[in-house]
Structure 1
């Protein structure tokens, strides 16, 4: 089940961040080209505007003056304007100043180096009508007084086709060119959205370039995995986070049959700090949620992956395979056979990681598996996986993963974080009964919504009542006897941590939730 992301407020940096004399940001987005010379770059404007907002928000208190932000879009980003304005911005940089460059558009390598397209780039003479990174950005930066620079480029390149929904033009942006400008006298971090030979894709769900979406999540402090324990975002943390999240999203949340592996070219005497993220004060939901009594029986994290049966590797029209049109035992068994190798391989990965990560794990971990169904379990957790036909769509397969923690798991938290693979995006509370009827629950949720804000919905056909408050959604399903909880952008233990801060009306103690009020 895919979850759509929504915009969230940026997190303000902490005051213990080192101050700069000035912060200068040069931001370029070319979404539409003059005379449609090049294909449209979907969401380039949204990318650049969100990036500009981050700079303005985070660095307002981290310099002697508000940050200087130059944002050029489309017709303002002609080649002459880019060259002139960028040259002036770099020439005036000071030694203690931070320079940030961001670009969203088409990029390529050719005619002497890496190039970025301008509004008036001509497809007949691309090399002569585009911005050259070496001449217009890297060499001027090296010659300037600036010693601290961050460069972010959401562009890529392969052979120009004109109809591909990606940010590419001709051939590969090459990292080797950037390496020439790395030395011990300054730090330079260059973050590129993909590796040579790959495309940089947008997402209609995210309303951003996929790479830029996750870049903004990290920069705004909404990606705990990218931060150090004391909440610093470093060059290494950002690099590793993007390398993990972008390919994962493309594999599990899109239908793209492609890879996009971000790369980073970094230089400093050691890992350098980008900025410090203040820990947000969490605002607990209205206490009346705890008055909805759940006679809970089990609690677990869950992640569901679905896709077209036709897309599976073993599906073959040559063998006269047909897509099922209804739910039945034969189709369920067939889906398990088609998914058997993939599921078995993944479960083995969980098993091997668990043995390695847990203290004395070889003696504590066991695995059971049989044709698309299996689990890995120990004294502190059970990881289960079930493959089959999607009960909501007979033409799709489903892979359902669940993870239940047992008493004492906190002592092995680091190991559990290593075991999990950021594909569990909801928390499920199963209950034997509710004290309220469906109608009473609807009234209760609507009262909470009126008192605390948020949005309430109900559907008597499915027996579901949902309540959304800020980034958190609660869905009570009376027919299934389940409460499902999502928190925007959070997965695995970070999701569990967030839910544990909410006092729910459970009646039985669980190692995965805050204890009942009367415990």
Structure 2
């Protein structure tokens, strides 16, 4: 079994030297959670974030790295933060880096690579997502020194390095994605949400990962920003481009029932309804309607929709309190986050979001979700019908990891259950399943199974979903779901 280790360093906030790096720590933590499913030993994956990102903290982890990870077959290193160059040497800024003494209070890039080489690991893949640190007196931020990097990697016996952006370029983030853009695609690749760059054996190599990122990042940048932005992912040390970054065979290949409860992340009651931007409470006649579904449009809609989100949440809050008798301290509600309001109770979580319609930026899409049911029997209660009965028209079974839709369809066609018909999209990324005597519409995608029905039929949606499970699994109802009423 592959023996892989990882060191993830995320310097998000700085005491004095620079503004924060948005989403750095959250992205690193999400990648850490994904690594065990990609062939990594969980006890050999180390995250350095928060108060540990001082110069002393980072250097301590580098000095102890060989002890922390043992003797793995491969090592993945991610460093997120800011960097600068001084006299031809690159440095990674730390939380306590001082503007008055930048080189003396930062970690030299040469020290980073020296620590990696001391592990004697046969394969080392380094991912650097480092925004340029603006240095007083420089006409433009320079970031790392490209010449130094090339020499370090040319001389390295094991390392390949991917840069999120060319030295001097920014590594952009997206408020909509709530990720750094390059890191968002990195996480997609490592979690198997794309097959790009993955070999037939299920191995994602450093070169394959870079090819995917170099293609995906510019496309996402164009969608996220109205003004043109430059971000050029780079690869150094291509002699080691075959280093394995992730083993995705288990995630992408065949194996296991599609609807095995182990695959389930959550079950969500959902509704999506259209609306007009100009009908939002915060819209004014002096405002210009969005003409593109870009980052500006999303931020604008989030702002003008905030009163509507709060009104929806207030109405639900009052109805829930009256119907279920919750005390104030039992409920946690907020409508202050961008385009999102939520209400958490001891029994469930209700969320309402508004997004720009990508097909028509003058319209919005309202999404309402009910999830995290403590007692699934709640769905069949009179209280549920009273408060939420007319809101939801679909039930969504979300997978913890992407599934192979084509394989699912092949299994049905090889041994079709009675009364089942399947239509699959040409790209094999979604399939529609029709069952004889089954009123709902069932769609299977890589990320979810969705049952669609008429609004106000929560219990009916649940019954249809359970019937679907029995048809394709031949077993009883999952413990996470309530049985039908007889």
Which ranges in structure 1 are unaligned for 5 or more consecutive residues? 1-14, 162-168, 287-306, 308-321, 332-386, 394-446, 473-487
1:99 to 68, 75, 86: 75
Matches within 5 A, 1:31-42: 31-34=12-15, 36-42=16-22
The answer to whether the 8 Å contact 2:21/2:81 transfers is yes
1:293-352, Cα deviation, whole Å (9 max, x unpaired): xxxxxxxxxxxxxx9xxxxxxxxxxxxxx98769xxxx9xxxxxxxxxxxxxxxxxxxxx
Q: 1:262 aligns with which of 216, 228, 233?
A: 233
Give the unaligned 5+ runs of structure 2.
262-276, 278-285, 292-357, 365-375, 426-430, 437-486
- Residues in 2 aligned to 1:510 and 1:69: alpha-carbon distance in whole angstroms: 42
- What residue number does 1:156 align with? 131
Separation of aligned partners in 2, 1:91 and 1:497: 42
For residue 495 of structure 1, report the CA deviation from its aligned partner: 7.7
Q: What is the aligned partner in structure 1 of residue 144 from structure 2?
A: 173
Q: Is the 8 A contact 1:250 1:256 kept in 2?
A: no
Q: Which of residues 99, 103, 112 is equivalent to 1:137?
A: 112
Q: Distance in 2 between matches of 1:58 and 1:118?
A: 29
**Partner residue in 1 for 2:176:** 205
* Rounded Cα–Cα distance in structure 1 between residues aligned with 2:406 and 2:223: 21
Match of 2:308 in 1: none
Contact 1:52 1:69 in 2 (8 A): yes
The partner residue of 2:191 within 220, 229, 232 is 220
Distance 1:256 1:325 in 2: 18
Name the SS for the 1:33 alignment partner: coil
The answer to whether the 8 Å contact 2:161/2:237 transfers is yes
Within 5 Å, which residues of 2 pair with 1:264-413?
Answer: 264-268=235-239, 271-280=242-251, 281=256, 283-284=258-259, 390=361, 392=363
Take 1:59 and 1:68, find their aligned partners in 2: how far apart are those partners? 11
Tell whether 2:396 aligns with 1:468. Answer: yes
1:477 aligned residue: none
Change (3 A) 1:259 1:80: same
Given that 1:187 and 1:267 are in contact with CA atoms closer than 8 Å, whether structure 2 keeps it comes out as no
> Contact 2:154–2:237 at 8 Å: present in 1 too?
no
Partners of 1:505 and 1:42 lie apart in 2 by: 52
What is the CA distance between 1:192 and its match in structure 2?
1.5
- Normalized per residue, which structure has more helix? 2
Distance 1:142 1:249, change over 3 A: same
CA distance in 1, matches of 2:68, 2:250: 35
Are the counterparts in 1 of residues 88 and 148 from structure 2 also a CA contact under 8 Å? no
In the alignment, the residues of structure 2 paired with residue 149 and residue 94 of structure 1 have an alpha-carbon distance, to the nearest angstrom, of 14
Q: Retained in 2: the 8 A contact 1:226–1:237?
A: yes
Q: 2:47 aligns with which of 71, 96, 104?
A: 71
Offset, 1:285 = 10
Decide whether the 8 Å contact of 2:192 with 2:402 is kept in 1.
Answer: no
- Equivalent pair of 1:211/1:242 in contact (CA under 8 Å): yes
Alpha-carbon distance between aligned partners in 2 of 1:323 and 1:497, rounded to the nearest angstrom: 49
- Report what 1:27 is aligned to: 8
Give TM-score, length-normalised by structure 1. 0.50
> Is 1:192 equivalent to 2:163 in the alignment?
yes
**Which SS does the other structure have where 1:101 is aligned?**
strand
